[in-house]
């Protein structure tokens, strides 16, 4: 008889897999915890799920950018053989990325979002939905890109509306959402102005009540505020340089 693995064991295995950097196993263990129990994940369990998907897609996104750079070089130098190889490699990476993004989006839409509690949990999942549609929009083309971009925007808008209504201005989930939503405007819609507007609004609101920030989330919130500040500096510079060229 095969012993049944309970939720706590699955979570423990997921944490071990994280330490071993075995993110595919880590993801399967979190999914196992959902299967044997329910879809309402604790903060730690949501973090495990997010880390697993983020590492799986992060490596592929990095690989895609590197291969795309070599593709541009081979095209510019008219190196037909190298161009065929790089394009084939890029397509393989894109297929893997699509598979993982579609997997997390199914899990969110079919299982996690319907079971989520209002507040931090629901905002977290809609933020994830926006993130993974954004990843698809990064490399897909034409109608597929438009569809992913619109789905990402819808998810981010809903997440942000819920965050404003239920989470404190310094809450790390709300700040992380603002950061990623601003990146969407900058990278997908090519609008650093809207990115700056959203990021500055979130930054200013949080800084205004910084003295009220809970100690438990202080470190996480401060880190995201620093990232918002860094991106604002970079995006403002982009706008100034672009405007100078247009004069």
Pick the CATH number of 1-115 from 3.30.1340.10, 1.20.190.20, 1.10.10.60, 2.60.120.10: 1.20.190.20
- The tokens 């490699």 sit on which residue? 89
Tokens of 54: 């983020």
Where helices occur in 188-217 by DSSP H, the ranges are 192-208
Query: Which pLDDT belongs to residue 2?
Result: 40
Query: Which pLDDT belongs to residue 3?
Result: 53
- The tokens 């915890």 sit on which residue? 33
For every one of its 247 residues, what pLDDT tens digit does the chain have, with 9 covering 90 and above? 345 789 999 999 999 999 999 999 999 999 999 999 889 999 999 999 999 999 999 999 999 999 999 998 888 888 888 889 999 999 999 999 999 999 999 999 999 999 999 999 999 999 999 999 999 999 999 999 999 999 999 999 999 999 999 999 999 999 999 999 999 999 999 999 999 999 999 999 999 998 888 888 889 999 999 999 999 999 999 899 888 877 6
- The tokens 């931090």 sit on which residue? 120
**Number of residues that make up the chain:** 247
Query: Which pLDDT belongs to residue 158?
Result: 98
Burial class (CB in 10 A: 0-12, 13-18, 19+), 86: buried
d(CA 240, CA 30): 45
Domain ranges for the chain, please list them: 1-115
Query: Which pLDDT belongs to residue 242?
Result: 84
């Amino acid at each position: 008889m095969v012993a049944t693995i309970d939720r706590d064991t699955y979570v423990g295995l997921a944490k071990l897999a994280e330490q071993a950097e075995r993110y595919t196993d880590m993801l399967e263990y979190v999914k196992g915890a959902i299967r044997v129990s329910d879809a309402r994940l604790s903060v730690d369990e949501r973090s495990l799920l997010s880390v697993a998907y983020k590492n799986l897609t992060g490596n592929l996104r990095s690989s895609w950018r590197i291969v795309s750079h070599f593709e541009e070089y081979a095209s510019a130098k008219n190196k037909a053989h190298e161009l065929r190889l790089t394009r084939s490699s890029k397509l393989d990476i894109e297929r893997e990325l699509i598979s993982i993004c579609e997997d997390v989006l199914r899990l969110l839409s079919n299982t996690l979002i319907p079971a989520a509690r209002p507040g931090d949990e629901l905002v977290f999942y809609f933020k994830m939905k926006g993130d993974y549609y954004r990843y698809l929009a990064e490399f897909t083309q034409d109608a597929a890109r438009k569809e992913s971009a619109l789905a990402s925007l819808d998810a981010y808008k809903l997440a942000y509306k819920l965050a404003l209504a239920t989470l404190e201005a310094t809450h790390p989930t709300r700040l992380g959402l603002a950061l990623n939503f601003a990146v969407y405007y900058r990278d997908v819609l090519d609008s650093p102005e809207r990115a700056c507007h959203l990021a500055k609004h979130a930054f200013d609101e949080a800084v205004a009540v910084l003295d009220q920030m809970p100690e438990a989330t202080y470190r996480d919130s401060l880190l995201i505020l620093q990232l918002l500040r860094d991106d604002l500096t970079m995006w403002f510079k982009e706008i100034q340089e672009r405007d100078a060229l247009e004069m």
